[in-house]
Amino acid sequence: MSGSGGATILHADLDAFYASVEQRDDPRLRGRPVIVGAGVVLACSYEAKAFGVRTAMSGSQALRRCPGAIVVDPRMPAYSEASKAVFEVFEDTTPLVEGLSIDEAFLDVGGLWKIRGTPVQIAQRLRAEVLSRVGLPITVGVARTKFLAKVASGVAKPDGLLEVPPDRELDFLHPLDVSRLWGVGEVTAEKLRSRGLTKVGDVAMMPEAALISILGRASGRHLHALAHNRDPRPIEVGRRRRSIGSQRALGRSPKSPATLDAVLAGLVDRVSRRMRGAGRSGRTVTLRLRFDDFSRATRSHTLPEATDQTRAILHTARTLLRTARPLIDAQGITMIGISVGNLQTEAAIQLALPFDKAANNELDSALDLVKDKFGTNAITRGVLLGKDQGIQMPMLPD
């Protein structure tokens, strides 16, 4: 089982995925600093990372740090195809696969001892298979829990393999920086460091009540458990998304309210179409913003009824954007995102009475049919006509 016994959980994570695909397909790029995406860095090779280039950095800033970098346009179909090939290797290894994104997954190999060998031997073969069949490097962490397997793969990158034996878990975990704890971003890490908590072991020494007073109840309890490697979660095969969303990088130039509204409408069109395609409806609409100083903010609203209607989601998203306008004016905006959570399947939805005659269900369905038959750009809003609507990232099924 994933929460007890031996180290039987693998976390397999492709290295610098988009950039690795580009280096695989163009031998001239191998061993050289590669940046995928011009305006905003979507991915970068480890050769570029050595110069301080990071994902989501502006292209101009990235080139200042690494003047010799080679910038290539993203090729989303190639990345989707590579991801499918890698997941075929995962599924050939074990039936217990939980995809996290198109380039990483958890695998439970606890029941394969007699037919495939030890978890480390299985991990070694998996890495060799991904390299031979797909031509990409992949790093694998092996541990008793999902959390620690993910940490192990992060430590082992790039192109590595690391096992954390059950009797060495805390010896491995506690010397690591607090940023290694799952869910600790820059803001939370700074809060912890400002109180002298720089290592995971420092967090483990804190009473749970003290962490709760610093970070709040949910985060405090979460980090206290992880710092002691308490993670009982099993591998979830076929796990469906808890939310469906999309986001758009905007660059650093000022954006008018009309421009932001048009971008928001395009994102809502994309998200609501994905929801209908997956047979999902949701209640909680969340707006995500990133500012010039790289700080972030979220605004959310929970609807009384679950919906997949574009109009209802867009109305809520626009209201959230209006409430955030003073913050946008003060800090500038570089990214906007929208997501819908509290998802449920259409079969579980209780229809409300009286039916909303202006719900636009027929319009949504008609637009979906046109886009399915003739392509996403076959029909669009007038405000988006002729405008770049951003890159649609490949992802696992909804």
- The residues that are catalytic are 104
Structure tokens at 171: 């010896």
Tell whether 368 is in a known binding site: no
Residue 231 DSSP symbol: -
Closest to 334 in 3D by CA, of 60, 48, 77: 60
Closest to 315 in 3D by CA, of 303, 332, 327: 303
CB 306 within 8 A of CB 342: yes
Residues 6+ apart with CB under 8 A from 142: 7, 9, 10, 119, 120, 123, 149, 152, 161, 162, 163, 164
Closest to 323 in 3D by CA, of 305, 293, 297: 297
Rounded CA-CA distance 276/307 in Å is: 10
CB 44 within 8 A of CB 33: yes
Residue 19: CA atoms inside 13 Å, Cβ hemisphere, count? 27
Rounded CA-CA distance 12/153 in Å is: 7
Tell whether 202 is in a known binding site: no
Cα 85–Cα 48–Cα 164 angle in degrees, nearest 5: 60
Structure tokens at 159: 């192109």
Give SS3 for 170: helix
Give SS3 for 357: coil
Structure tokens at 177: 């920086």
Tell how far CA 385 is from the center of its chain: 29
Annotated binding site for Mg(2+): 13, 103
Annotated binding site: 13, 103
